[in-house]
Amino acid sequence: MEPADVRDDLTEVLLTEQQIHEKLAEISRRIETDYAGRSILLVGVLRGAVMVMADLARELKSPEVEMDWMAVSSYGAGTQSSGVVRILKDLDTDLTGRHVLIVEDIIDSGLTLSWLRANLESRGTASVEICALLRKPDAAKVEVDVRYVGFEIPNAFVVGYGLDYAEKYRNLRAIGILAPHVYT
Ligand code: PRP
């Protein structure tokens, strides 16, 4: 789906599909250099990270790239993360001695990732780093050390490229700001 297909639902296109792909290519070159000679386990966090994971993994020019998935849910009412995280689907991979790269669509409060990193580090990994396409610095409740960040964005309601509103708009190719009339 293109932004033109949902034009009335967006106040603006924040990042085009091309901008996203160029950024992921740039990040991939850094990852290839940083992990030269080592195999990587990409850990995608369902469901938002599906698009980033698919494009990042395909951009990496090495067969030493594995993928696994986790689904987590933060306790608490409303749309805000609470910091208390429950694992809905765990990894199938043994992490002992592995170089893990967590792949996320967005860091909002930072609570999910800060919990997730500590959880994965406790499993005997060789290293745990984070790659997030988007970060909202103004929404941070905890500082998370993120090695690869695509774009820092304003604290607005963004959808597309995996990001949803009520499970919709994940299939939008670009990332846009959702118009208030959609959610009010
Ligand atoms: C989003 C996103 C992160 C988390 C970030 O997931 O994918 O996992 O929120 O928020 P935080 O930094 O405030 O913890 P969400 O819970 O919306 O689920 P989804 O990926 O299935 O859309």
The closest alpha carbon to 55, from 14, 27, 95, 16, belongs to 27
Question: Could you report the per-residue pLDDT of 163-172, keeping only the tens digit for each?
Answer: 999 999 999 9
108 is catalytic: yes
Pocket lining: 108 vs ligand 1, CB cutoff 6 Å: yes
Closest residue CA from atom 17 of ligand 1: 48
d(CA 151, CA 136): 9
Average pLDDT over residues 27-45: 98
Task: Give the tokens for residue 50.
Answer: 């599906």
Question: What does the domain layout of the chain look like in residue ranges?
Answer: 18-155
Cβ contact 176:10 at 8 Å:
yes
**What is the C-alpha to C-alpha distance for residues 62 and 37, in angstroms, rounded to an integer?**
10
103 lines ligand 1 (CB under 6 A): no
Architecture of domain 18-155: 3-Layer(aba) Sandwich (3.40)
Indicate whether 23 pLDDT > 90. Answer: yes
Distance (angstroms) between ligand 1 centre and the Cα of 106 equals 7
